[in-house]
A and B are shown apart, each in its own frame.
Chain A
Amino acid sequence: MEEKELVQRTIQGDEQAFGVLVNKYKTKVFNLAFGLTRDREIADDLAQEVFIKVYYALEKFKFKSAFGTWLYRIAVNHIRDHLRKTKKMKHIPFEDVHKESRLSEEESNRRESSREKERKIQLLHRALQTLPKKHQIILTLRDIQGHSYEEIASILKLSPGTVDSRLHRARKMLREKIAPFLTQRGGTHEM
């Protein structure tokens, strides 16, 4: 069954049709939320809230874009609102991240490579959380979720040129935060 038909059936009250849409997109929405919050419970809750919003907004969906793009737009806005509300709670000064990373580096010699990879991810995500929201979101959409420039432009309602410049700005900011740590061991890039 096509998405358009599933959407129309959902509007007419067919909850099972909505269930099909949810099962198709739940992982993507959850991963987007997890990528930006790094908390499984919060990501789960946010994903549920996104689908509730989508359910009640379906009547307004005019098929001007793909359903997935429209859903992603709602998800990004909802998660961005959540991040804005919890900004004070979640904010970790990057100095603390760096300090923790040094400890991680000392331990890293004794630990396995999978743990090393996990630490890299944690460091990157903590650094990511210190970036402005718009940069966090564009990095998550492109570098974590792998969306194309066109999809990102459509989701965020930006021109492709703005996507390009914002993405490179975001990468540059993240690299500058991570770089002192990366070069700590006498010029090697081990973390």
Chain B
Amino acid sequence: MKCKRAETLISRALDGLLTSEEEEALQRHLKECPACQKRKEEYSIMTETLRDQDFPQVKPDFWERLYNRLEEQREYDIWSLWKRWSLRAVPLSIAAVVILALGLVLFLPQPKYELNQTETLLLQDRLPYPEPLTFLEEEGAENKSMQIIFTAMEERRDTRRYFP
């Protein structure tokens, strides 16, 4: 057996994993090889020291501290969730306001426009006032138009006058 193979078997022997044949072969090699005897002793010291060491005790308030940390974490999670959503909410809110405004402009029912008496008569190609007929005929088409407009404005102003 070569020393390299013997070293693998020495290590496995620490875990009790050798077959009886491997165990016998290793023992034969160890009797003839002082270097491997030394290695075996080094492995033994090494693993025994690692296995036999003492560990410090866990602090008695381990669970209490952990519980508090979990609580803090939970509060932080709620806050970070709110921050994340509020940041997303800003552009969403703006979009919602714009859509609402457009909806109001486009779909809200418009007040019904009613023609006044003068406009109705004019649309029927009839003069609203028979008196200025002569004057209108004399002053020409421009003055006639102006008179019609002023008359219409006069009538509308009357209807929209505020009476507290």
Q: Is there contact, CB below 8 Å, between B50 and A172?
A: no
The answer, yes or no, to whether B29 is at the interface (CB within 8 Å) is no
For window 31-61 of B, CB contacts with A under 8 Å fall at 38-39, 41-43, 45-47, 49-53, 55-56, 58-59
Q: Is there contact, CB below 8 Å, between B42 and A175?
A: yes
For window 1-44 of B, CB contacts with A under 8 Å fall at 7-8, 11-12, 14-15, 17, 38-39, 41-43
Return the chain A residue nearest B58 by Cβ.
A30
Return the chain B residue nearest A40 by Cβ.
B56
Closest CB in chain A relative to B97 CB, distance in Å:
37
Q: Is there contact, CB below 8 Å, between B49 and A47?
A: no
Return the chain B residue nearest A23 by Cβ.
B63
A-B contacts counted at CB < 8 A amount to 87
Q: Is there contact, CB below 8 Å, between B55 and A26?
A: no
- The verdict on A120 contacting B49 (CB below 8 Å), with A175-B39, A182-B42 known, is yes
Which of B46, B70, B73 contacts A124 (CB under 8 A)? B46
Which of A26, A35, A143, A175 contacts B58 (CB under 8 A)? A26
The answer, yes or no, to whether B69 is at the interface (CB within 8 Å) is yes
Q: Is there contact, CB below 8 Å, between A171 and B43?
A: yes
- The verdict on A124 contacting B39 (CB below 8 Å), with A22-B66, A52-B73, A168-B12 known, is no
For window 10-41 of A, CB contacts with B under 8 Å fall at 15, 19, 22-23, 26-27, 30-31, 34-35, 40
Q: Is there contact, CB below 8 Å, between B55 and A34?
A: yes
The answer, yes or no, to whether A134 is at the interface (CB within 8 Å) is no
* Residues of B in contact, count (CB < 8 Å): 32
Closest CB in chain A relative to B13 CB, distance in Å:
11
Contacts of A47 in B (CB 8 A): 58, 62
Contacts of A139 in B (CB 8 A): 50
Return the chain A residue nearest B47 by Cβ.
A143
The answer, yes or no, to whether A149 is at the interface (CB within 8 Å) is yes
**Cα(A47)–Cα(B61), bound, Å:** 13
The answer, yes or no, to whether B67 is at the interface (CB within 8 Å) is yes
Contacts of A120 in B (CB 8 A): 45, 49
For window 141-191 of A, CB contacts with B under 8 Å fall at 142-144, 146, 149, 164, 167-168, 171-172, 174-175, 178-179, 182-183, 187, 189, 191
* Residues of A in contact, count (CB < 8 Å): 41
Contacts of B51 in A (CB 8 A): 143-144, 146
Q: Is the interface of B mostly helix, strand, loop or mixed?
A: helix
The answer, yes or no, to whether A84 is at the interface (CB within 8 Å) is no
Q: Is there contact, CB below 8 Å, between B45 and A189?
A: yes
The answer, yes or no, to whether B65 is at the interface (CB within 8 Å) is yes
**Cα(A187)–Cα(B34), bound, Å:** 11
Q: Is there contact, CB below 8 Å, between B53 and A121?
A: yes
19 contacts between A and B (CB under 8 A): A19-B63, A22-B62, A30-B58, A34-B56, A48-B69, A52-B70, A144-B51, A149-B15, A167-B11, A168-B11, A168-B12, A171-B14, A171-B47, A175-B42, A175-B43, A187-B38, A189-B38, A189-B41, A189-B42
List 18 additional contacts besides A23-B63, A143-B47, A175-B42; criterion CB under 8 Å.
A15-B70, A19-B63, A22-B63, A26-B58, A26-B62, A44-B58, A48-B65, A52-B66, A117-B49, A120-B49, A121-B50, A139-B50, A143-B50, A143-B51, A164-B17, A171-B47, A175-B46, A187-B38
